[in-house]
Amino acid sequence: MLAGGVGGARFVRGVREEVRRRWPDGGGRSEASFRRAQDSAVTVVVNTGDDLWLAGVRLMPDFDSLLYSLAGVNDAERGWGRAGETERVAAELREWGVGWPWFTLGDLDLGTHLARTSWLREGLTPSQVGERLQRRWPLGVRLIPATDSEVDTHVLVADPDAPGGRRELHFQEWWTRHRATLPALAFEQRNIDDACPAPGVVEAIATADLVLFAPSNPVVSIGTILSIPGIRDALAETRAPVVGVSPIIAGKVVRGMADACLPVIGVETSAEAVGRHYGARASGGLLDGWLVDETDAPAVASLEGAGLVARSVPLWMRDLETSAALAGAAIDLGAALRPAGS
Ligand code: FO1
């Protein structure tokens, strides 16, 4: 699965649940082995475009969102960070003027960032660090950062007071401080052309039975993963069906702020436009199948005209049941698309 934090975590939990229900023995693996991340039936390639250095530590927000959510230690109400969080260190950092006063590093969360940074300083790669972080909780899926290179996203915005009338800010400043309200002119994933997929990413895609695009932001989450050289080729070459889930329902984003990002790449905020943007593999695009919400059923015929096998199903993930049902629909569509005999 390719996923970001927003829209990704709920869907990944649904997939984990549905896979457990359909293959309770873990596809022949022992329970202990199945629960170990590296032996999981499900591999999640996680967006790293939101990552940043702040207050001397490396943050990987999407990776941590998935880690905390799958471990059941996330703050579900707030939508990011740890449950039961305290902010004593953050208050001190504010006094010292370190970090961003509008970006809170909770005490428990800081434990993760300190552990990560300390392992990076010891010479581990981000994906090796990710592997260590996953040893703490039996996630039942394996998380891999899409790349070990730092490709932090920056946003170019119009600013009449800046030289040249434009300025660049880190994605997190645009997203969290300005709530994506500054009209973006472009997104730049720094050094992305020199990045390569983290170990295991291409192999996971090449050997998958099914590849899923989570209903994450098509521009700054899935889009960033797809911009890493090698990932598009791996998707083009895999024998597995590739099925995506729309992050847009009836012209509105399900969660997150994709509606502030899609216009920047000239894509309308609709399930149909995002499906067409990813495109059909049969005509050089990325997807075989595309799931849209029931309210977007009228788009199915036109999507099929564009070469995608589209289905309309309930997309709202209100709880684990509805998330698992959506995962089941994606797995079923993948099975229907699998070449005969494979
Ligand atoms: N989101 C916020 O809205 N406010 C915050 O103060 C904030 C702090 C934060 C700290 C660590 C971390 O890993 C994530 C954090 N987030 C915060 C969430 C994050 O900025 C975004 O929601 C994601 O990057 C978008 O996917």
Domain termination site, one of 145, 176, 207: 145
**How many C-beta atoms surround the C-beta of residue 212 within 10 A?**
27
| Whole-number Å distance between alpha carbons of 271 and 27 | 33
Tell whether 233 and 124 lie within a shared domain. Answer: no
Q: Which residue has the tokens 């082995």?
A: 33
Give the residue among 226, 222, 220 at the shortest CA–CA distance from 3. Answer: 222
To which H or E segment does residue 126 belong? helix 126-134
User: Does residue 7 form part of some domain?
Assistant: yes
| Residue 89 structure tokens | 């260190």
Whether 199 and 140 map to the same domain: the answer is no
Same domain, 200 and 317: yes
Please tell me the residue having the least CA distance from ligand 1 atom 2: 176
User: Closest Cα to atom 19, ligand 1: which residue?
Assistant: 61
CA of 61 to the centre of ligand 1 (A): 6
* Residue 268 CA, ligand 1 centroid: distance in Å: 26
Which residue has the CA at smallest separation from atom 5 of ligand 1?
103
Number of domains in the chain: 2
Ligand 1 pocket, residue 288 CB under 6 Å: no
pLDDT of 27 reads 62
Alpha-carbon dihedral angle through residues 224, 48, 204, 124, given to the nearest 10 degrees: 140
Last residue of one domain, picked from the residues 145, 178, 209? 145
Whether residues 33 and 106 share a domain: the answer is yes
Which ligand 1 atom is the nearest neighbour of the CA of 220?
26
Kindly state if the Cβ of 105 falls inside 6 Å of ligand 1: yes
Q: Same structural domain for residues 9 and 138?
A: yes
In a shared domain, residues 137 and 239: no
Mutate which of 48, 69, 103 for ligand 1 pocket (most atoms within 8 A of beta carbon):
103
**Pair 141, 198 in one domain:** no
Which of 221, 263, 231, 259 has its CA nearest to residue 49?
221
Q: Are 308 and 233 in the same domain?
A: yes
Residue bearing the CA closest to ligand 1, atom 12: 61
- pLDDT for 34 equals 46
* Domain membership flag for residue 183: no
CA atoms of 70 and 46, how far apart (whole Å): 13
Does one domain contain both 15 and 135?
yes
Whole-number Cα distances in Å, 104 to 31, 68, 81, 196, 303:
38, 16, 9, 31, 42
Same domain, 105 and 214: no
Specify the CATH number for the domain of residue 330.
3.40.50.10680
User: Which atom of ligand 1 is nearest to 103's Cα?
Assistant: 6
Q: Does 6 contact ligand 1 (Cβ within 6 A)?
A: yes
Beta-bridged to residue 289, according to DSSP, are 243, 309
In a domain, 211, yes or no: yes
Q: Is residue 158 part of a domain?
A: no
Is there a domain that residue 163 lies in? Answer: no
pTM reported for the whole predicted model: 0.95
- 100 pocket-lining for ligand 1 (C-beta < 6 Å): no
CATH code for the domain in which residue 8 is found: 1.10.8.240
> Which of 145, 177, 205 is the last residue before a domain boundary?
145
Please indicate whether residue 176, judged by its CB atom, sits closer than 6 Å to ligand 1. Answer: yes
Cα-to-centroid distance, 131 and ligand 1 (Å): 22
Domain that holds residue 95: 2-145
- Do 225 and 103 fall within a single domain? no
85 lines ligand 1 (CB under 6 A): no
Q: Is residue 310 part of a domain?
A: yes
What are the DSSP calls for 237-287, one per residue? H-SS-EEEE-SEETTEESSS-HHHHGGGGT--SSHHHHHHHH-BGGGTSSB
15 with 138, same domain: the answer is: yes
In a domain, 188, yes or no: no
Q: What is the pLDDT along the chain (342 residues), one digit of tens a residue?
A: 999 986 799 999 999 999 999 998 776 655 554 444 556 899 999 999 999 999 999 999 999 999 999 999 999 999 999 999 999 999 999 999 999 999 999 999 999 999 999 999 999 999 999 999 999 998 999 999 999 999 999 999 998 899 999 999 999 999 999 999 999 999 999 999 999 999 999 999 999 999 999 999 999 999 999 999 999 999 999 999 999 999 999 999 988 889 999 999 999 999 999 999 999 998 999 999 999 999 999 999 999 999 999 999 999 999 999 999 999 999 999 999 987 666
CA distance 296 to 312: 7
Please indicate, yes or no, if residue 237 is contained in any of the structural domains: yes
Q: What is the pLDDT of residue 40?
A: 83
The number of angstroms, rounded, from the C-alpha of 179 to the middle of its chain's C-alpha atoms is 19
pLDDT of 24: 87
